[in-house]
């Protein structure tokens, strides 16, 4: 009863239901003084003054400018005006009107995945790989709640996304109607912003705001919840309504101040052991970052989200840092006297014990989100700005001052090169068993490091981060902050939609893959060239690794095979793939891996390769949770007792 009363109160007070992290976001409805017409054939429309002569509709827009159309058609045209060409939508009762309107769109294609979680992860893969907001649409109730993990994932990884949900008619809100959930309330803390549309005339403005919010500042997901009666109402849309975001607009970062940039350049010139610590916030500033490194010669290490923002193959790249980062990247952080942290948030999987992280270094932190500055680690110099603009300013100052010709970090680089040679990434081979790292290395060689890679979550994710070469931004797609299993396959599908002609490979584990295996249907029906490389160890490998290291190898529900016949590979992923009419093969010996991967890559359309790997393998190096560089583990596996 309490929830019903709260929902009823919200319906009476729309602003209470409209999420607004900044007070000035609350907005009254457009043209509130204009009366509504009486119901005609079960619908209503606004009484708008129309021009005496109507312009003929363009091929893109199916209506005359003054012609009333359903709210669902207004929504679809608003998406078209935002440049949307692809959406990931699964229909249901409360979103049927939207799907009907989509069938009337000449420019938007819907990609039907088989679960709403698949839709939202596909939208994420599309957005991560293109830089454009991904759009997913779901019905009310369970359809909307199935988006929750994907929205949380997008918020943590700063992925631009617009999620649209159907809702029960306004008169039913708060009555516990069939498939009613207060999705705005459910997602309040896992979206950048969200809306409950209570007036059909607000749709053009709200959609415009949603896309602006999703892509500006620190990107993130925005949810728009639209009751079914709003979708059915008739309206003459006003497309030039201004954004009503004064509080947000006033807080967007400006161009970085010259004195702060001067201070950073001075710190660079005074340092002897500087390191660049680069994250996902640099995904749109790859060129500027490379130029900065060219001018300074400062070594670069990246977070999991930052892979590809600086070329992994470059001699100044230390690859990934953190819990499963390279020894030499973590060594560099530990010994640095200057840490240039660009587009990062000092995540716990990077820092470990905060007090010990970069304890010898002065810290410069540049990030677009003011909430991240000083949240986990206090910087000596901070700039709240777009990293792209900050790097552009720093590069100009370096050239202008001539400092770039005076600095020399060659002895520091030699020290790090010695660490690279002393502690390279490595693994062991046991007979004809397939080391999972080897399979990824072969994939890297055969694709020449050019594929877009998606992953699930677990050991395979870390090996894919370590052993594949990422040389450009938006090449690496993985659920980093949330760590959502089941991400890999639908994200690969979304990336394939957004990047036609580009090789997309989902490197997955058998546990993660099974969580959204139904999306094999979508990639087959659309004949997307998504290649699935499953590293199948019949276990939840990362949990097994922690059991080995910290729980005396006591197995607590981490075996995914068939206990009645442990010699059998279960389930049979090859047979399942063939049930979806997808070519598939299994490889069990190291000598056969190269040819098997070659066949996978050369086969047109989707393909699944089931690579059987030993479950005793551990992801190394490893800094235990809450540990420091001195605690790093560099050897051992599940074949050893601890």
Is 179 in contact with 119 (CB distance < 8 Å)? no
How many whole angstroms separate alpha carbon 478 and alpha carbon 451? 14
Dihedral of CA 39/42/46/51: which sign? negative
Catalytic residue among 77, 97, 116, 119, which? Answer: 116
pLDDT in tens, 275-284: 999 999 999 9
Q: Is 545 a catalytic residue?
A: no
Task: List the strands of the sheet with 134-138, edge to edge.
Answer: 109-110, 86-89, 134-138, 161-167, 221-227, 193-196
pLDDT of 50 above 60:
no
pLDDT in tens, 345-376: 999 999 999 999 999 999 999 999 999 999 99
Catalytic residue among 161, 485, 515, 542, which? Answer: 542
| 294: Cβ contacts below 8 Å, ≥ 6 apart | none
DSSP state of 489: H
pLDDT of 11 above 80:
no
pLDDT value at residue 179? 96
Q: Is 450 a catalytic residue?
A: no
pLDDT value at residue 62? 79
pLDDT value at residue 572? 97
- Render 120-178 in DSSP notation, one character per residue: HHHHHHHHHHHSSPEEEEE-STHHHHTTHHHHHHHHHTT--EEEEEEE--GGGTTTT-T
How many whole angstroms separate alpha carbon 542 and alpha carbon 548? 10
Q: Tokens 């201004």 correspond to what residue?
A: 242
- Percent of the chain topping pLDDT 90: 86
56 or 506: which carries more pLDDT confidence?
A: 506
Catalytic residue among 70, 192, 208, 228, which? Answer: 228
Is 590 in contact with 435 (CB distance < 8 Å)? yes
pLDDT value at residue 61? 64
Paired with 533 in beta bridges are 507, 609
pLDDT in tens, 378-392: 999 999 999 999 999
How many whole angstroms separate alpha carbon 355 and alpha carbon 377? 9
Catalytic residue among 5, 36, 178, 578, which? Answer: 178
Q: Is 228 a catalytic residue?
A: yes
Paired with 1 in beta bridges are none
pLDDT in tens, 540-593: 999 999 999 999 999 999 999 998 888 899 999 999 999 999 999 999 999 999
CA distances from 166 to 11, 137, 225, 284, 458 (A): 16, 8, 6, 33, 34
pLDDT of 7 above 80:
no
Mean pLDDT of the chain: 91
Question: Cα 529–160–85 angle (5° rounding)?
Answer: 50
Q: Is 542 a catalytic residue?
A: yes
């Amino acid at each position: 009863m309490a929830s019903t009363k709260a929902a009823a109160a919200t319906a009476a007070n729309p602003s209470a239901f409209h999420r607004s992290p900044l007070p000035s976001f609350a907005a009254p409805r457009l043209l509130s003084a204009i009366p509504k017409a009486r119901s005609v054939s079960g619908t209503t429309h606004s009484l708008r003054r129309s021009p005496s002569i109507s312009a003929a509709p363009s091929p893109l827009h199916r209506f005359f400018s003054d012609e009333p159309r359903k709210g669902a058609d207004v929504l679809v045209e608003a998406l078209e005006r935002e440049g949307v060409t692809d959406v990931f939508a699964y229909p249901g009762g409360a979103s049927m009107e939207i799907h009907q309107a989509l069938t009337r769109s000449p420019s938007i294609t819907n990609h039907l995945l088989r679960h709403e979680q698949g839709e939202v992860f596909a939208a994420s893969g599309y957005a991560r790989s293109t830089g454009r907001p991904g759009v997913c649409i779901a019905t009310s109730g369970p359809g909307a709640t199935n988006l929750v993990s994907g929205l949380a994932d997008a918020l943590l990884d700063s992925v631009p996304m617009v999620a649209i949900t159907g809702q029960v008619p306004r008169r039913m809100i708060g009555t516990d109607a069939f498939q009613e959930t207060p999705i705005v309330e459910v997602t309040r803390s896992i979206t950048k912003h969200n809306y409950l549309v209570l007036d059909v005339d607000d749709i053009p403005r709200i959609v415009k705001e949603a896309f602006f919010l999703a892509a500006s500042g620190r990107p993130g997901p925005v949810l728009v919840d639209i009751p079914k009666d709003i979708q059915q109402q008739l309206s003459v849309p006003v497309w030039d309504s201004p954004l009503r975001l004064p509080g947000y607009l006033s807080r967007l970062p400006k161009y970085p101040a010259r004195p702060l940039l001067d201070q950073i350049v001075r710190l660079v010139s005074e340092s002897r052991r500087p390191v660049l610590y680069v994250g996902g916030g640099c995904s749109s500033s790859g060129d500027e970052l490379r130029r900065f490194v060219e001018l300074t010669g400062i070594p670069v290490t990246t977070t999991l989200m930052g892979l590809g923002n600086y070329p992994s193959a470059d001699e100044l790249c230390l690859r990934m840092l953190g819990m499963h980062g390279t020894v030499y990247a973590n060594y560099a952080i530990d010994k640095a006297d200057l840490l240039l942290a660009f587009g990062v948030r000092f995540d716990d999987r990077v820092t470990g014990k905060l007090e010990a992280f970069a304890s010898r270094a002065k810290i410069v932190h540049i990030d677009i989100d003011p909430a991240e500055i000083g949240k986990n680690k206090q910087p000596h110099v901070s700039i709240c700005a777009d990293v792209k603009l900050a790097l552009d300013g720093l590069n100009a100052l370096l050239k202008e001052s001539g400092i770039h010709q005076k600095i020399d970090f060659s002895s520091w680089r030699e020290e790090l090169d010695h660490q690279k040679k002393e502690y390279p990434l490595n693994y062991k081979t046991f007979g004809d068993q397939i080391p999972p790292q080897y399979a990824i290395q072969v994939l890297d060689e055969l694709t020449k490091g050019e594929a877009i890679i998606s992953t699930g979550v677990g050991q395979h994710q870390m090996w894919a981060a370590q052993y594949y070469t990422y040389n450009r931004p938006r090449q690496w797609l993985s659920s980093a902050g949330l760590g959502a299993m089941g991400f890999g396959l639908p994200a690969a599908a979304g990336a394939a939609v957004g990047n036609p002609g580009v090789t997309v490979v989902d490197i997955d584990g058998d546990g993660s893959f099974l969580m959204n295996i139904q999306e094999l249907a979508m990639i087959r029906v659309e004949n997307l060239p998504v290649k699935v490389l499953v590293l199948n160890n019949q276990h939840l490998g990362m949990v097994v690794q922690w059991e080995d290291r910290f729980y005396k190898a006591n197995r607590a529900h981490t075996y995914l095979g068939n206990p009645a016949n442990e010699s059998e590979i279960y389930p049979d992923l090859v047979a399942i793939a063939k049930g979806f009419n997808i070519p598939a093969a299994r490889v069990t010996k190291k000598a056969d891996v190269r040819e098997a991967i070659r066949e996978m890559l050369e086969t047109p359309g989707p393909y699944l390769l089931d690579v059987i790997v030993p479950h005793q393998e551990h992801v190394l190096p490893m800094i235990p949770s809450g540990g420091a560089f001195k605690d790093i583990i560099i050897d051992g596996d599940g074949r050893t007792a601890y």
